[in-house]
Structure 1
């Protein structure tokens, strides 16, 4: 779904793939103020604990922390304010269908620049249980050992 002509990745939510199974991915735009864009271009944002919600047919991202821009003075806004995401009606109804199913959430996976615009990769995610997380860790550990063993032979 996502075009791989992505520019500079500014932030990545590494915890998302650890805590959730990502079912679907979607590229969305975001409504920002000028000083927020400057701060994001400097890489001063944090996606940890952020999530998206659907309110009155609009999609918003919550708890995404964008540090205030140093030269922004009076134009700076609240760092964790609710920000609107730009999606069309069809995409919103598709996401609403996912959300109504039990256990699904909208999680931002990464923030990047694409043709000079700030874009967010939004993932439709289902929460993992502790045993799922342990299985993933064991699988990665086994792959790491196999790779290490193969490199020792060569």
Structure 2
């Protein structure tokens, strides 16, 4: 008996590669998600270090957390855009993540407008003055 060579089954269509624009959006979403993770871990490490944080430090860390939320929301928006309309199905994990991050990002402590407004008012300096007064008296505004 003669042995015939084993034939591999070939598809009539070549493998489809994502378009260059889709790859760029995926890379941008990945970059945003990784930056958010790095920032959040840096904030956690600074808080967990056990050093006394001033009000100015707290304000800066809150601003960093609002940036984390913004980066996460932007990354999820890109992923949802790449996924298409089927990503909005209620059974879609992507839709659930997108909804949860969008709702959580609207919390007053994570709202970028409110955080920048609070920081711009100089509340951190006022809090430092109040903390330095004796016998619980408030410093003048």
TM-score between both structures, scaled by the size of structure 2? 0.27
TM-score between both structures, scaled by the size of structure 1? 0.25
- Structure ID, larger Rg: 2
